[in-house]
Amino acid sequence: MSRLILHIGTHKTATTTLQRHFARNRAALAARGIWYPDYDLIGKGGHYAHLGMVNAFAGQHDKYSVEDARNFFREVGARVRDHEVTLISGEPFYRHIAYRSPGQVPEDPEIYWPLRDAYIEQIREAFGDVPAEIAVVFRRQVDYAPSLYQEQVKVTRYAQDFATFRREFWYHFDYLGQARAWARVFGTLHVLRFEDLVSGGDPVAAFGALLGLDLSGPETVAQQNVSMHPDAVVLKRLLHATKIDKDVLRADIEKMLEGPLRRRVRKFSNRSLYADAADMQAFHRSFRRDNEYLGREFFPGFAPGSQLFSDRLKEDLRFGDELHPYFLNMMLKELIRR
C-alpha cells in the first residue's frame, strides 16, 4: 500500500539538513520508490523543502498564493498511488492555525486549539483525503525554546525578550497537545526525540529508521541553519529599533561573526538567555507531567514513571537576556583591531 508521510518539524530539529538531503538525492530515493515532490509539479521553480507551499496554504507567503498551495497538495495527493512512498517536509505545518486575522496566533489556549484543529483538518482535506502518516521530531523544551527564539529574532523583526517569547509562543512547547491534535485527525503519528536523531551522527539514518525507510543517498549534506550566538541575537534584537532592513542586519551580524571575532565567540559558548539557573530549571520542570503522558501515548515501550527527556541541565552557564560584557569586550577589541 502506498504511503503519504508528512514531516511537520518541529523547527530547529535538523529539518533543513534532512530536507536538503532529500532534495539532493531525489533520484536515489526515487529508485527505491520514494517520491520527494518538487514545485515543478505545478510549474513553479524548484526548492529543497515544501515550507513555501505550507506557508502559502496559510496565506503567509509573498511569492506563492493559497491557490498555488492547494494545487500543489492536490496534485501530490492525486499521485500518491503512483509511488511506494511520498514524502512531504515542511516545518511550518507545526505552527500554523486556521487564522482569523493574518498571522495572529491567540495566546488563550481555549481560542487557539479549535483554530489549530481546524487547520489540521484543512491539511487532511488538501491532499484529497488520502490517508497520511505524520512524522515529528521533538526536542527537550528547555533546549528548544532558546534555539527557536534565536531563529525568530534572526529571521524576523521580533523584538521581545526571551521570557516574553516563551509566554507568547507557548503552543510550540505543548508537545502533548500538538501530538494529540495531529493524531486525532491522521491517526498514525511517528515521534522521535531530537536527541536520538542526532546522537549517532547520522540524522538521515535515524529519521529513516523511525519510518522504516532507507533514505540514504550518495550526495551528503553538511549541518544546515546553525543557530546564531545568543549575544548576537540580543544585538540584532536591539537593532530592530532602527529602520535598517532585517535581512541587512542579519547579514551584517553574520559577517561580523565570520571574521576574527568567530574564534573568540567559539570560546564563549557557555551562554544562556534564561534569567538564571532557577528560571531554566522551572521551565524544564513545567513540562515533566505532560512529557510523561507523551511518552506513554506515542513512544512504544516507554516505561510509566520514567522521564522522556533528561533532567540533567548544564549549570556552568553565563545567564542573562542582555548583551554580556564579555561579548561587548570582544566587539570592542575587534573594532580596535580594525
Alpha carbon distances (Å) from 275 to 70, 174, 268, 317: 44, 21, 18, 11
Residue 129 has pLDDT above 90, yes or no: no
Q: How confident is the model at residue 286 (pLDDT cuts 50, 70, 90)?
A: very high
- At residue 224 the predicted structure's pLDDT band, cuts being 50, 70 and 90, is low
**Can you tell me the distance from the alpha carbon of 185 to that of 51, in angstroms, rounded to the nearest whole number?**
21
243: nearest Cα among 331, 150, 159: 159
Give me the mean pLDDT over the 198-227 stretch.
Answer: 90
Residue with cell 512529557: 291
Q: Is the pLDDT of residue 99 over 90?
A: yes
Average confidence (pLDDT) over 1-24: 96
Mean pLDDT of the chain, nearest integer = 94
Q: Tens digit of pLDDT for each residue in 292-333?
A: 999 999 999 999 889 999 999 998 999 999 999 988 888 888
Counting residues of the chain whose pLDDT is more than 90, the rounded percentage is 84
Q: How far apart are CA 201 and CA 198, in angstroms?
A: 5
Q: Which residue has the higher pLDDT, 237 or 258?
A: 237
The answer to whether the CB of 330 falls within 8 A of the CB of 264 is yes
Whole-prediction pTM value?
Answer: 0.94
pLDDT tens, 203-214?
Answer: 999 999 999 999
Domain with CATH 3.40.50 in the chain: 3-141+170-211
What is the rounded (10 degree) CA torsion for 253, 255, 257, 261? -120
Q: How confident is the model at residue 259 (pLDDT cuts 50, 70, 90)?
A: confident
Confidence (pLDDT) at 338: 66
Determine the Cα–Cα distance for residues 290 and 159; give it in Å rounded to an integer: 30
Q: Does domain 3-141+170-211 have CATH number 1.10.1060?
A: no
Band (261; pLDDT cuts 50, 70, 90)? confident
Burial class (CB in 10 A: 0-12, 13-18, 19+), 243: exposed
pLDDT above 70 covers a percentage of the chain that reads: 99
Long-range contacts of the stretch 324-330 (C-beta < 8 A, 24+): 324/231, 324/268, 324/271, 326/268, 327/229, 327/231, 327/265, 327/268, 327/271, 330/261, 330/264, 330/265, 330/268
In tens, the pLDDT along 51-94 reads 999 999 999 999 999 999 999 999 999 999 999 999 999 999 99
